[in-house]
Amino acid sequence: DEDGESELLDLAIVGAGISGLMAAKTISEKRADIRFRLFEKSTHPGGTLDGLKTRWITPHHYHAMNLCRELQIPLGTVWRQSEVSEARRSLVSIGPFRKRPSGSQGANSFMSSLRDLLVRLESTRFMAELDCLCTVKYIESNAQNMECFLQRKLLFEASRRFFRFLIKIGTGFYPSELTVAACLRLFRSMSSVRDLYDMLTLQNGHLQPASSPNWDVLIERLVARVGPEHVTYSTNIVQVEITSEQRSDIVSLTDGTGRRWRARFVILAVSCLDLVQISILPEGPLYFHQPDIQLGLWSMANFTVRYPAPYWRDHGYTGSIFCPAQCLICYESGRNQLSGTYFSPLRGVLNDTERHLIRDTILRLLRTNFACRTMQKPLEFGLELHPIPFYFDVFPTFERCIIFSSTNVSCWYRGFINGSIQGGVRAAILALLEIRPQTITFREVTDMQCMHFKYFRQRSSYERVWYSLNLASVSRFLLGVGAVLLTYGAYRV
């Protein structure tokens, strides 16, 4: 209020994406006479829902499936790589462990094929081990760095590179930024590592609203549940200040035009890139800084390419690519159309020259993977560039009045709808514990703290022993035995 003292809100939610809307929905359904408002910097709700961020879900994602059932949103299966209706022959997809070209022959070809087979075997086995470790009821405390864990468990550098890429695009963090326990909690919140891999490679298909190819219907129904009157658009909050009034803390929010609001509690449901642009006074929380990363990925290019005909099918391919070595994910998104994401090492604000460079790189990779020169001559090419969020982690609450919905690594993961829903529910329960604790049930508290229990699976002793075997341990054992035998032989000589 520019003219006088503004109304004191019980709760202010910054960000009207899926996470912020889910928090507001949880608050409003309590019917506890809580005065709240959402502030969105753009002119529409929903956040980013394009490219790889289409936030596909699978039947294993408990929270997303439950929300769609509640809002009566029927889901349909997106095209699977094994179901190509117009194909008159078996088509293949390009995965991280693709075979060498059939034209190469000789000893080098045999050794390369053997190495690729071992990398595939090792990576598949390690995925099963991670799922065995993360889908238990209680994850053991392990402060070891995840990068060191990969070095110890995996023999081949190709396998390590594959898991670095998978962890980064699935969780938003590099392995060097996580402990083993934190990484396992992230994997458990997304149901499993195998489920993430199958989703990105279109092994089991994705789910999306049956009536439309995007998630606008979900956003519309969430806004309807919350109430459009509770959402304020075109309001970019740039400052959050904690002040003391009458022996209680009050949070003042200021937007880019200088307008101010006051609230007892605030939920910051924005991305990491937007969060660092908000000034928190008088003293902000301690954010972790990004360490020296290993993959060198800084921007995310979401692309859509349309051709006169599906040339990739003529060359025996489904159109699905998941290639960590080339930092490329691609899938058939429509008739004669491919969509996907290319992870680029370019940093900062990209100019037209760099955009053309990324475009040419994507078309070259498509031509190389599908062995088709025509792939470099599309009818249309759409490109959207977004910076990749850096390592960012804070405690769930700050000074007991500022609550972060999507920055704590204990029960969420980045970029997919299920993780956004988890973050919103968690933030809402934390806010209700402060505002109206009498409205919270014991089940809601345990669900807030242990959402990943929904994905708990019992593993037998045989499975745990089998998953613990790995080529790196066998290699170290053989090297140790060889060293002992060599030393004994030298001694005998």
Annotated binding-site residue numbers:
19
Question: What distances in angstroms separate CA 102 from CA 113, 123, 166, one per listed residue?
Answer: 10, 23, 28
3-state secondary structure (DSSP) of residue 369: helix
Name the token pair of 174.
């590099």
Write the DSSP string, 28-54: HTT-S---EEEE-SSSSSS---SGGGG
Residue type, 83: E
Cα–Cα dist 61/273, whole Å: 26
Cα–Cα dist 173/487, whole Å: 44
Name the token pair of 418.
């299920």
> Which residues are annotated as part of the binding site for FAD?
19
Cα–Cα dist 48/60, whole Å: 23
CB-based burial of residue 90 (10 Å sphere; 0-12 exposed, 13-18 middle, 19+ buried)? exposed
Cα–Cα dist 51/215, whole Å: 12
Give me the count of residues in the chain.
Answer: 493
Burial 114-152 (b: 16+ CB within 10 A, else e): eebebbbebbebbbbbbbbbbbbeebeeeeebbbebbee
Residue type, 477: F
Cα–Cα dist 449/457, whole Å: 18
Cα–Cα dist 158/154, whole Å: 9
Q: Chain centroid to CA 299: how far?
A: 15
